[in-house]
Chains A and B, each alone.
Chain A
């Protein structure tokens, strides 16, 4: 077992006169309209009970040491003007896909494609939840609940209790097109909460894309259950406004021979926390979680936290965590990543790398990599680096006539390449790469 906090940071104590935690939770809940739920009613009640027991996080909580939870704890978010985002070109729009549009977390049927596609069943949560039974009943809130140990994730429990909508996807074959969830904003003060449940049946495959921005504050949960030999490729490119608060959880259960590959691109955002809890339960399974994060403190405060927990509970499984952050002008990045290898999970191959490229001296990266291993025949490694641009490489490019700004874009893309490699599809990877390049070019001269 090894644990290393590369750098620590003072967290301001709670302001005196702030409501007590219990009152704060009640105020938070009062500001939401909690759906009673149909098939989710039991799960929602259980989640609420879990949440009341664990309470909202405080700055003294071990897993909130580097990220201030108070903006997430506040009953309502600060409104953000609808136009307060960068004029990015849309992603994936020219590709064949099935599109589902959500506006501030609520499904918009008129803007979405027809939900029928061979090899896949798609329902929306709000619609399906009017009934008492659904295939998702055995999963909604279930993976979230099992992801509450050993680390508490109160905002995920809050999400299960409060989710307004989301998508329920059951994949039984290999659908011909990816499913693309697009988020849009409508209200300046929206507090968007959505909850997706994905079940990929034995031998089935799905590529799931999720892009756009919802709410002034968002709380998104995905519960993904991969049966034997199933494949799920999840690519998220959330477009955050500069003042945006966002909290996302991915809970995945990966059965034997199944493959999960997840890649998330994040740019901008005042306070973003992305948690992943991956439970590998069957032999010979593979789980890769990757992220590329770009933050520029000049266009608004930037703080991005990736908190990842991978559990190996079976033999000969492989996990990879590849997290890369590019930070400039006082941007802050956090990575907390853990690999837990349970007794008997022999021949585990666990790998974790978190790296930050700091483009100036004001930015900072805080990393806490952890390994906890209870099996004796495993291969696990973790690494974390924080560095500046490679001056030799920069000179090499410039000596060929590439202007400095352009050379920096090349080197940043080079730094991020390992994370992008986790996107299998070349066309999707190319579009993500173009999006990164465009952002870097826009933010080059500051």
Chain B
């Protein structure tokens, strides 16, 4: 599904190298976790993959099902099936949650040559999915993320994911700022979306989220590269021992 090969990325404005030869492959249907200390480049990786401005790829490639991601505009990547759940979902006053999401769903469908979804169908689908995530129907009418608590914002991200039905989901520290109950709700939402043709890349600081979303593979990232890859046990090892020994071992 997602293939990243020897990716080098620097910040455009500061001429600062962030990713230094990162390679990674997430096959269809798998959940991969990326863990790593602050400043290792985890968020940069999620932004570069989803097409945010301000980063320059100096070397390497990233493809999704063989298509060059890095050449595409952010909306093209979304239409191709990529989704980024933001660490800090953005508030957009004056734009209704529902209007925004229906515009997004239909823009993606249009880009893929599919027919637009009718208001009735959309309403039915979003109500069902919101109920699963325990999102109040009133919240759907409110402006995007405005006045939402931290947990509500993250659940709203998962709702968007559920409605957009991406094939490749990147989750950037979705667990940050969540209490235990909210984390479980988010994890349940993600688990409900797991399927043989959908993959996840879960970026997190802590192992805790991975108790709820069982990864197939865990990567440890440091200084712009993947330094160690293993099974779910690797996350437990991080939790017990911290990054210090692991990173020393990886050289």
Contacts and interface: CB of A to CB of B under 8 A. Distances in A.
Partners in one complex: yes
Contacts of A132: none
Nearest to A419: B94
B73 A398 contact: yes
Contacts of A395: 51-53, 74
**Interface size class, chain B:** 20 to 34
Given A401-B78, A403-B75, A396 B90 contact: yes
A398 B95 contact: no
Contact of B75 (A390, A402, A415, A418): A402
Given A395-B53, A414-B92, A401 B100 contact: no
B75 A404 contact: yes
B107 interface: yes
A402 B94 contact: no
A400 B90 contact: no
Interface in B36-87: 50-54, 73-75, 77-79, 83-84, 86
A398 B92 contact: no
Contacts of A404: 73, 75
Contacts of B111: 401
A403 B94 contact: no
A410 B95 contact: yes
Contacts, number: 81
A401 B90 contact: no
Contacts of B89: 396
A414 B50 CA distance: 24
B89 to A, nearest CB: 7
A417 interface: yes
B183 to A, nearest CB: 22
A416 interface: yes
B93 A402 contact: no
A395 B83 CA distance: 12
A405 to B, nearest CB: 10
A400 B164 CA distance: 8
A126 B129 CA distance: 62
Chain A's interface: helix, strand, loop or mixed, by majority? helix
Contact of A398 (B74, B93, B94): B74
A375 interface: no
B51 A398 contact: yes
B160 interface: yes
B228 to A, nearest CB: 29
A325 to B, nearest CB: 16
A401 B164 contact: yes
A402 B107 contact: yes
A16 interface: no
With a 10 A CB-CB cut-off, give which of A393, A401, A417 has the most chain B CB atoms.
Answer: A401
A392 interface: yes
Interface in A384-434: 390-393, 395-404, 406-407, 410-411, 413-418, 420
B108 interface: yes
A399 B93 contact: no
B103 interface: yes
B100 A398 contact: no
A415 B93 CA distance: 8
B229 to A, nearest CB: 27
A392 B90 contact: yes
A391 B54 CA distance: 10
Contact of B90 (A393, A403, A406): A393
A411 B91 CA distance: 11
B104 interface: yes
A400 B78 contact: yes
B124 to A, nearest CB: 20
A77 B27 CA distance: 70
Nearest to A390: B90
Contact of A406 (B78, B79, B103, B160): B103
Given A410-B92, A414-B93, A417-B93, A401 B79 contact: yes
Please name the 5 residue pairs, one residue from A and one from B, whose CB atoms are nearest each other, closest first: A417-B94, A401-B78, A401-B108, A398-B74, A400-B104
28 contacts: A390-B90, A391-B53, A392-B90, A395-B74, A396-B90, A396-B92, A397-B92, A397-B100, A397-B104, A398-B73, A399-B51, A399-B78, A400-B104, A400-B164, A401-B104, A401-B107, A401-B108, A401-B111, A403-B107, A406-B103, A410-B100, A413-B95, A414-B94, A414-B95, A417-B93, A418-B93, A418-B94, A420-B94
Interface of A: 390-393, 395-404, 406-407, 410-411, 413-418, 420
Interface of B: 50-54, 73-75, 77-79, 83-84, 86, 89-90, 92-95, 100-101, 103-105, 107-108, 111, 143, 160, 164
